[in-house]
Amino acid sequence: QTHSLITMVNFIFFKNADEYTDLPVRHNEDQMNSELAKHLPVEVNPHSFDSSHTKTHLLLQAHFSHAMLPCPDYATDTKTVLDQAIRICQAMLDVAAHHGWLVTALNITNLVQMVVQGRWIHDSSLLTLPNIELHHLHLFRYVILLSICSELQTAHISQVILSIHLVVINVIGKEEYKAVAPRFPKVKDEGWFLILGEVDKKELIALKRTGYVRNRNTVSVAFYTPETPGKCIYTLYLMSDSYLGMDQQYDIYLNIIPASTSAQVTTEVSDAISHLALK
């Protein structure tokens, strides 16, 4: 997963994003880029330190790594890079959904989380909590973050509605809906991506965005069952657009029965997943 995300970072921010073409590379910043690159995990082309895209790539890495920047101008440039990054990722997510690319959609969602939190995907998710550092991690045993259950309702023909009930516990006030993201330059509301896919085929079936949850929300995701009768497994991913480590995954077991004389398809769901709960 880390390798896939690094490849995506290279693709988006290093090579192909026109949004970063005009990021300034000031006098002597090619030398500063070269020095900064020595302290970052992902190698870049050593002959491109005068490139705006290479500088963007390094600023993203520094953001994820909490690396020290060489001068105040780099902090200002990082804000510009982060602001564009969310829009680029949202556009790429739309493209992935259009083409049904499940793995790509999951990787892009993880990348959004990394951008907002300023962490690598392999960092402990507990480090996103305020004032928590590496030496605090041994104090934690478990954290209850969210409760979710879902039930599948049958519909006409082959279309099915997946009804997902999102429940937030320990809500104190309106500010609880703001993402805790001290390394992101803007105030951001929490949000969620609901991604339904078929893992074996790496196919994205449906994608739905939803905003922050006011105590409890019900989100409906419509999708079409396979045309071929038989059993199959779809997987529902509930992924935060703000936090690392809160993603959930649930398998949904379907048994597609041949169409009846009324030309309807009945979709049966295993009792084992009729009520899903995160504990």
The pLDDT tens digits for 212-262 are: 777 777 888 888 888 788 888 999 999 999 888 888 899 988 888 776 533
pLDDT: which is higher, 178 or 77 = 77
Over residues 101-110, the mean pLDDT reads 90
Per-residue pLDDT band at 271 (split at 50, 70, 90):
very low
Residue 150 has pLDDT above 50, yes or no: no
Per-residue pLDDT band at 140 (split at 50, 70, 90):
low
pLDDT: which is higher, 181 or 17 = 181
How high is the pLDDT of residue 278? 40
Asked if 56 and 13 count as a contact pair (C-beta separation under 8 A), the reply is: yes
- Spatial CA neighbour of 164 closest among 246, 211, 219, 239: 219
Asked if 55 and 81 count as a contact pair (C-beta separation under 8 A), the reply is: no
Per-residue pLDDT band at 42 (split at 50, 70, 90):
confident
Residue percentage of the chain with pLDDT more than 90: 30
pTM of the model: 0.67
How high is the pLDDT of residue 60? 92
Asked if 256 and 244 count as a contact pair (C-beta separation under 8 A), the reply is: no
| 3-state secondary structure string across 181-247 | CCCCCCCCECCEEEEEEEHHHCEEEEEEEECCCCCEEEEEEEEECCCCCEEEEEEEEEEECCCCCCC
DSSP string, 72-116: HHHHHHHHHHHHHHHHHHHHHHHHHHHHTBHHHHHHHHHHHHHHH
Range with the largest mean pLDDT of 110-119, 250-259, 264-273: 110-119
Asked if 145 and 202 count as a contact pair (C-beta separation under 8 A), the reply is: no
pLDDT: which is higher, 79 or 273 = 79
How high is the pLDDT of residue 157? 36
How high is the pLDDT of residue 222? 84
Residue 13 has pLDDT above 70, yes or no: no
pLDDT digits (tens, 9 = 90+) for 173-207: 655 678 888 888 888 888 899 999 999 889 999 99
Range name among 14-18, 42-46, 74-78, 80-84 with the lowest pLDDT average: 14-18
Asked if 113 and 240 count as a contact pair (C-beta separation under 8 A), the reply is: yes
How high is the pLDDT of residue 266? 39
Centre a 10 Å sphere on the Cβ of residue 74 and count the other Cβ atoms it contains.
20
- Spatial CA neighbour of 80 closest among 99, 109, 55: 55
Over residues 146-171, the mean pLDDT reads 56
